Structure 1
Amino acid sequence: MTDDAYLFLLDDASAPLGVPPTAVGELACMETPAVRAWLDAHEAAPTSPHLRLLPPEETAAIPEGAERLPVPLSDEELSRVRHQRAPESLARLEDELLAYRETANGRDDLITRALAAGVPPHRIVELTGVDPATVSAAADG
């Protein structure tokens, strides 16, 4: 297994292998000289239906002989690639988990602000469902 994702070209654009980079959104690697030169060398546009991307753990699925290029992706970009690869039912659950993460990211700050504004700790527990020890720790910290 490699740590890099791979861009590759498929002969059959209708094959379900990989993710078209355009489906993932903007990727920093697509603007690099290496990727531009590779695309130019293969006379492929970044929007080509033959151009695909696979995360590191799936690169063994790239067909033998397919033109390929390792590309580094940020954690966020790699997450988007994996999300696009997930079956629809899992993708919906992943969306819910991402929404939860976004909400939970500011949890401690929100609890601190609520306490400072005078919301009683027991009410914060009722409204948020967080463990009372978490609210107590925020009140003490």
Structure 2
Amino acid sequence: MADDALLFVLPERHPLLGAALSAVGGLECAESPAVLGWLHAHGLPASSERVRIVPAGAAVLVPEEAERLPVPLGEEETLRVEHACAPRSVTDMESELLSFRDTTQDWQSLVHRALTAGIPAPRMTAPPHAVPAAWGGRPSRVPGPVIRGRCSRTGRRGPAAAG
């Protein structure tokens, strides 16, 4: 076993990264005195959404201000962590973007997940009610939760492509 993953405490109001430790399933390291002590020191249960895990190769994604703990994993555990951290397909993300076209709630997190899934920033635009009046109160090419063009899975058009 080597340090095959990195546990970290996601800072407040930061887009979700990696996978929640609780979503990966039982990892042997999660019951170790080192991990239990680390969680206790941060006042967080292992089931907290803020306790995240990424494969060692994805450590560059972890925010600099996040508290980190390298952990060893077995081969099967490493595969589970990698699978849990893998981005969803682009078509799934496009569908989610389309469903968010009438809201601004948590759109920064959604945009981050879309970019991670491989949707290019120029395909996204902010919803009209999220664009400041100084910008004319209409969609612009700033990142936002609405997909431009057609969704490759559903064929639905985003508002920027309609008309």
Q: Give TM-score, length-normalised by structure 2.
A: 0.50
Any stretches of 5+ residues in structure 2 without a counterpart?
A: 91-163
Higher-RCO chain (CA-CA 8 Å, sequence separation at least 6)? 1
**Residue pairs, 1:1-16, within 5 angstroms:** 3-12=3-12, 15-16=15-16
Please give the secondary structure, in 2, of the residue aligned with 1:83.
helix
In the alignment, which residue of structure 2 is the partner of 1:100? none
Equivalent-residue separation in structure 1 for 2:35 and 2:41 (angstroms): 10
Q: Kindly indicate whether residue 74 of structure 2 is the aligned counterpart of residue 74 of structure 1.
A: yes
Structure with the higher helix share, 1 or 2: 1
Q: Give TM-score, length-normalised by structure 1.
A: 0.58
Identity of aligned residues (%): 47
2:78 counterpart letter in structure 1: L
Equivalent-residue separation in structure 2 for 1:40 and 1:78 (angstroms): 24
Structure number, greater radius of gyration: 1
Q: What is the number of residues matched between the two proteins?
A: 89
> Contact conserved, 2:10 with 2:16, CA < 8 A, in 1?
no
Q: Report deviation, 1:4.
A: 3.0
Q: Report deviation, 1:16.
A: 2.4
List structure 1 segments (4+ residues) > 2 angstroms apart after TM superposition. Answer: 87-90
In the alignment, which residue of structure 2 is the partner of 1:85? 85
In the alignment, which residue of structure 2 is the partner of 1:64? 64
The 1:61/1:14 distance shift into structure 2, 3 A limit, reads closer
The 1:3/1:46 distance shift into structure 2, 3 A limit, reads closer
Please give the secondary structure, in 2, of the residue aligned with 1:57.
helix
> Contact conserved, 1:20 with 1:51, CA < 8 A, in 2?
yes
2:48 counterpart letter in structure 1: S
Equivalent-residue separation in structure 2 for 1:70 and 1:87 (angstroms): 22
Any stretches of 5+ residues in structure 1 without a counterpart?
A: 91-141
2:24 counterpart letter in structure 1: V
